[in-house]
Structure 1
Amino acid sequence: MSTPTSPFTPAFPPATTSTADHEPARITAIISALKMIPLIEGGYFVETDRDPLLIPSPFPPVPMKSVTPAAGAGQQTIRPGFDPAWRNASTSIFYLITPSSPQGTFHRNRARNVHTLHHGRGRYIVIHPDEKDEEKRVETFVVGPNVVAGERLQWIVEGGTYKASFLLPDEEGEGGSDGGLLISETVVPGFEFYDHDFLEKEALREMVGEKRAEELEWLVREE
């Protein structure tokens, strides 16, 4: 495995689907122990908490444009019993990307998302659509245990911004990823697919320009 020449170059072959047939034994054990399922944006997840406290929704009463009912566990569905007028105060999940499902494709949520690292390393790309300064519109950083080198243990993605992520080797340079990248995400107010949206290639080009879009379009979900 060669060192990427660009921060946006994948370190592991991108997956073409959100499910993986062959995971390393340790990762399979993690998925089983946490009872995780494939997630539509890539990787695996399990919801660990949904605050029973309901609050009036601070969001518009219409869904984000890409929300449609779909079949299958972990897919983009409207939750049974969901009332658009209300939100749970918060929700939390475990999220895992792996060598066989190594990226989370660009998406956004209306709510604020707090991320906390458990193990592994990865790169996040955050696009701020309303940022006027083109140099600041695309933000990228590495999450991992080496805080001395600037890697992050905790990071926040504000509502309305697009994010994507991909797996990096456990050590800087060449190497594997024995346990994948495992994090927690807490969404405030609580997550609903009603508030979720995927980035499309045309919108990516409009926000970041043709050259940068060519580097990033592998992180756009194929319909």
Structure 2
Amino acid sequence: MFKFPILASALAAVLLNTALTTATRIPILEPRNNITAQQIIDALGLTPNVEGGYYLETFRDPFVVPLPGPDGCNSNRSVSTAIYYLLEGSTGFSRWHRVVDAAEVWHWYAGAPLSLYLWREGDGGDEVRERVLGPDVLGAYSDRGQPQSPQVVVARGEWQRARSWGDWTLVGTTVAPAFTESGFELAPPGWEPHGA
């Protein structure tokens, strides 16, 4: 009879054993075999983004709900949107920006890990926080030994910028309620949060 606890223990032993050779470790998708950012941009039909990088809106929920607007009047708004976003390492940092009226969830898809730098005005401190988006949740394969997360949540109104650790990173973001231009704020060139 199949014993799940034994299988789970064996799998955990393999995953957590840092003494294993590189060849026996779980592979992490990185830009290999000369795959370039331009090939990904072309394959997905991405276009330049004002923050830096390239994007494509892939989903806008047809379900619309009434939401209060800044003037006190209700407006109809889609429940959520999703995009692909590719950032090349040569770009350096994306521009500081924020979505003032919605939460945003970043999802890692392919390429190098990506650092997200987050800062919330009036959060009781001036420190910029770094979260790493990537597949290595144990930090076992990173030269920095830093755990990564396949998802990072950016709170409503939180300032953010990103930087790829390698040649390129492909991520997705989901915004809820849906992204609108009126809810987007791009910092002026050279702007930095108080603690940066």
Residue 181 of structure 2 corresponds to residue 184 of structure 1: no
Which residue of the partner structure matches residue 116 of structure 1?
107
TM-score (normalizing by structure 2): 0.71
Confirm or deny: 8 A CA contact 1:54 1:89 kept in the other structure.
yes
Which residue of the partner structure matches residue 46 of structure 2?
36
- 2:45 and 2:189 map into 1 onto residues whose CA distance is 33
Change (3 A) 1:101 1:59: farther
1:165 to 157, 162, 165: 162
Partner amino acid, structure 1, of 2:180:
E
Which residue of the partner structure matches residue 60 of structure 2?
50
CA distances 1:57-92 after superposition (whole Å, capped 9, x unpaired): 244149xxxxxxxxxxxxxxxxxxxxx822110000
- 1:58 and 1:145 map into 2 onto residues whose CA distance is 38
Secondary structure, in 3 states, of the residue corresponding to 1:147?
coil
Query: After the TM superposition, which residues 22-171 of structure 1 pair with which residues of structure 2 at under 5 Å, given as runs?
Result: 26-61=36-71, 85-109=75-99, 110-119=101-110, 120-134=112-126, 137-149=127-139, 150-169=147-166
RMSD across aligned C-alpha pairs, in angstroms? Answer: 2.4
- 2:189 and 2:36 map into 1 onto residues whose CA distance is 35
Confirm or deny: 8 A CA contact 2:115 2:162 kept in the other structure.
yes
Change (3 A) 1:30 1:193: same
- 1:27 and 1:204 map into 2 onto residues whose CA distance is 28
- 1:202 and 1:95 map into 2 onto residues whose CA distance is 22
- 1:167 and 1:186 map into 2 onto residues whose CA distance is 19
Partner amino acid, structure 2, of 1:167:
S
Query: After the TM superposition, which residues 14-25 of structure 1 pair with which residues of structure 2 at under 5 Å, given as runs?
Result: none
> Deviation above 2 Å: which 4+ runs of structure 1?
99-103, 199-205
Confirm or deny: 8 A CA contact 1:127 1:138 kept in the other structure.
yes
Unaligned ranges ≥5, structure 1: 1-23, 63-83, 170-176, 213-223
Confirm or deny: 8 A CA contact 2:79 2:177 kept in the other structure.
yes
Confirm or deny: 8 A CA contact 1:51 1:89 kept in the other structure.
yes
Confirm or deny: 8 A CA contact 1:61 1:85 kept in the other structure.
no
Partner amino acid, structure 1, of 2:125:
D
Rg bigger for which structure?
A: 2
Confirm or deny: 8 A CA contact 1:43 1:102 kept in the other structure.
no
- 1:102 and 1:57 map into 2 onto residues whose CA distance is 36
Secondary structure, in 3 states, of the residue corresponding to 1:103?
coil
Identity of aligned residues (%): 27
